[in-house]
Structures are given as structure tokens and as C-alpha cells.
């Protein structure tokens, strides 16, 4: 059952969860794509669809482009799938070029962005992207130029909607000043472990605020402007759902135990508890699940049926932070 998401107001009937496709294509290496990688992708996509997930998140750099290429092969073999799913990708990160001594950097220049979108579409084998995000803030970003690129991509039919990733309210506001198109997404690392997005609000007028790097006002700005908050790293890399905790803090171990207890009480998966905690927040957060394991995809999808009380939500939050609220 779909809950109300900001994306719905913009015309994108997206699922509550997104399948992140970084794990497609055989990983971060230059090895060629094999039949097993395509089979694996088919199984992951099928598991997502059967679980009610219709949105898929990519980036041009994932597995050095192989993730999009493998997904494109899935679409080629099942062409009817394209019109029933929402495809999102990101651009702007350029890897280091050791031959000429250039480090990893970010690039929102007009020529690079246009070239990147053409590359994304080619690898996916599609004519348009539903959503295109700027992956990480480019220190040399010319907001007016980005706005011109977005307009050109929209006019050409190559991109339907635009958004950002890892950006603050101020950065989004600057971009929006020069963009005709409404920015509809901000994708951030937020989870039961990565709680700076909550601490920023809790620590107003508190000394502890000095140690929090989450940009103040970003959560509120996205809600005010009806910008969809997407959570990457939403499962905290399995920290509370089965990962070895031998070298982890007492807070992590206690929180993992609470997640396990709640999962047993509610007869659901640990992944579902972790994701339901995010989805309980009134900002209508849309978690991205970065797994290609069909059974884990199904376990994550159970989150849509989980109801956490206010007390349960706060118990998990306070346990994660490791100290009482001020």
C-alpha cells in the first residue's frame, strides 16, 4: 500500500521503497559482465516488483558503468517493463585519472553533464530518465549553467524530473533560483545509525550542536518545499540486521538487540524494523535498499506492514544515540 510521498504530488507514483542498483554488474572492478550477472539482475528486479517496488536508483559510476549496462540488458529482454517502473540515475562524480595526475573530482559543467546523460541512457538502453540527480556538490558549480542544462534535458525529452543528492537547503535554494524545473528529490545518508538529521533538531540551543555536521534546516526545507527525501545507506550496512558486531560499541549492540526483539514481537524481519523506523518519520522518507539478494529484498518490503508506536520509535532512537536525550 502506497503512503503519501512528495513524489506523488509531482506526478511520479513511486513505491515507498527504492531498489538501489549499485550492486548490479559484478562489483567495483573492470571484469567483463557475465551471464551470471544478468541472471542476478533479473532475479533482483523480479523480487523488487513482486514486493511492490517500482523505483530503481542508479548512478553513472556504479560498478564503473556496469550496473546500468546490466540493468539495460534486463530491460532489453523485458521491454514491456520500462513503462511500469521509475528509473533514477545520478551524475557528477569523476574518478581519478592517474595518467594525467588528476584526482577524483566533481563536475557539473554543461558539456560533462550532457555527455553523462547520453552515456546513462545508452547503457540503460532507454530514451529518457524519470529522475536525474546531481550526485555530490561540485565546488565549482555554476547554478545558472546547471539550470540551462536541466532546461535543455527537459526540452529534449531525455529527463522528466530533477533533483540532488547530498545537498544542504542553501545549495538547493541556490540551484532552484536558476532552474525552471522544480527540484523534487534530495538523497541523503540517513539511517538508524546515521542520525545527524535528527540530532540537528534535538540539539537546538545545545552545546552538542557544534559536533553535528548535518546541515541545519535541510530536513525542514525539504518538507516545506515538498522535496522527496530519499535515504541512502538506510539499512546502515546491515549493522542491526545480522552483521558481526564483535568490535562495535555497546550502543550498536543494544540497538541491534532491540531491533531483534521488535522483529520477533511483530513477526517480521529485522530489516523491516530498521526501515519502518525511518518511514515512521513525518518527512515521508523513501529508503533506498542496496541489496541484490531476493530474500533480503522481500524482507525489506515487510517494512510497509510494520507499525511502530511513538514509544518504540523513541526507544530505538535513544538507544542508537547511546545517551539520553537532553
**Please, are residues 25 and 37 in contact by the beta-carbon 8 Å criterion?**
yes
**Please, are residues 132 and 88 in contact by the beta-carbon 8 Å criterion?**
yes
Q: Provide the 10 A C-beta neighbour count for residue 36.
A: 9
pTM (2 d.p.): 0.96
Q: What superfamily does domain 6-240+281-293 belong to in CATH?
A: NADP-dependent oxidoreductase domain (3.20.20.100)
Max Cα-Cα span within the chain:
58
Tell me which DSSP letter residue 278 carries. H
DSSP H/E element including 159: strand 159-165
Catalytic residue among 62, 161, 240, 317: 62
Domain extents for the chain? Answer: 6-240+281-293
* Termini Cα distance of the chain: 37
Whether 317 sits among the annotated catalytic residues: the reply is no
List, as one string, the DSSP characters of 90-103.
EE-EE--BTTTTB-
- pLDDT score at 1: 54
pLDDT in tens, the chain (326 residues): 567 999 999 999 999 999 999 999 999 999 999 999 999 999 999 999 999 999 999 999 999 999 999 999 999 999 999 999 999 999 999 999 988 899 999 999 999 999 999 999 999 999 999 999 999 999 999 999 999 999 999 999 999 999 999 999 999 999 999 999 999 999 999 999 999 999 999 999 888 888 888 999 999 999 999 999 999 999 999 999 999 999 999 999 999 999 999 999 999 999 999 999 999 999 999 999 999 999 999 999 999 999 999 999 999 999 999 999 99
Q: What's the residue count for the chain?
A: 326
Instruction: For CA atoms 267, 268, 269, 275, give the dihedral sign.
Output: negative
Residue 19 forms beta bridges with which residues?
56, 289
Residue 57 has which C-alpha cell? 536508483
Residue 238 forms beta bridges with which residues?
none
Amino acid at each position: 500500500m502506497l503512503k503519501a510521498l512528495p513524489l506523488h504530488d509531482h506526478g511520479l507514483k513511486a513505491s515507498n521503497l527504492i531498489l538501489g542498483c549499485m550492486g548490479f554488474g559484478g562489483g567495483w572492478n573492470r571484469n567483463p559482465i557475465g551471464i551470471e550477472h544478468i541472471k542476478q539482475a533479473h532475479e533482483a528486479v523480479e523480487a523488487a516488483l513482486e514486493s511492490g517496488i517500482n523505483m530503481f536508483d542508479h548512478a553513472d559510476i556504479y560498478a564503473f558503468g556496469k550496473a546500468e549496462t546490466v540493468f539495460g540488458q534486463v530491460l532489453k529482454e523485458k521491454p514491456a517493463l520500462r513503462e511500469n517502473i521509475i528509473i533514477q540515475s545520478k551524475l557528477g562524480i569523476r574518478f581519478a585519472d592517474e595518467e594525467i595526475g588528476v584526482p577524483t573530482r566533481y563536475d557539473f559543467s554543461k558539456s560533462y553533464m550532457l555527455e553523462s546523460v547520453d552515456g546513462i541512457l545508452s547503457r540503460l538502453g532507454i530514451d529518457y530518465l524519470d529522475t536525474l540527480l546531481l550526485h555530490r556538490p561540485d565546488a565549482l558549480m555554476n547554478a545558472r549553467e546547471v539550470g540551462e542544462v536541466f532546461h535543455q534535458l527537459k526540452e529534449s525529452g531525455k529527463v522528466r524530473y530533477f533533483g540532488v543528492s547530498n545537498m544542504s537547503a542553501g545549495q538547493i535554494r541556490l540551484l532552484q533560483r536558476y532552474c525552471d524545473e522544480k527540484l523534487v528529490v534530495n538523497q541523503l545518508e540517513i539511517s538508524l545509525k546515521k542520525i545527524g538529521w535528527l540530532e540537528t533538531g534535538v540539539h537546538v540551543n545545545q552545546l552538542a550542536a557544534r559536533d553535528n555536521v548535518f546541515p541545519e534546516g535541510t530536513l525542514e526545507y525539504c518538507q516545506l518545499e515538498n522535496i522527496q527525501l530519499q535515504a541512502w545507506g538506510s539499512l546502515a550496512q546491515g549493522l542491526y540486521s545480522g552483521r558481526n558486531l564483535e568490535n562495535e560499541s555497546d550502543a550498536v549492540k543494544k540497538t541491534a538487540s532491540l531491533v531483534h526483539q521488535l522483529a520477533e514481537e511483530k513477526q517480521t524481519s529485522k530489516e523491516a524494523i530498521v526501515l519502518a523506523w525511518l518511514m515512521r518519520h513525518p518527512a515521508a522518507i523513501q529508503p533506498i535498499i542496496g541489496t541484490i539478494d531476493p530474500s533480503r529484498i522481500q524482507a525489506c518490503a515487510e517494512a510497509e506492514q510494520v507499525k511502530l508506536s511513538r514509544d518504540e520509535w523513541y526507544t530505538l532512537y535513544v538507544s542508537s544515540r547511546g545517551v539520553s536525550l537532553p
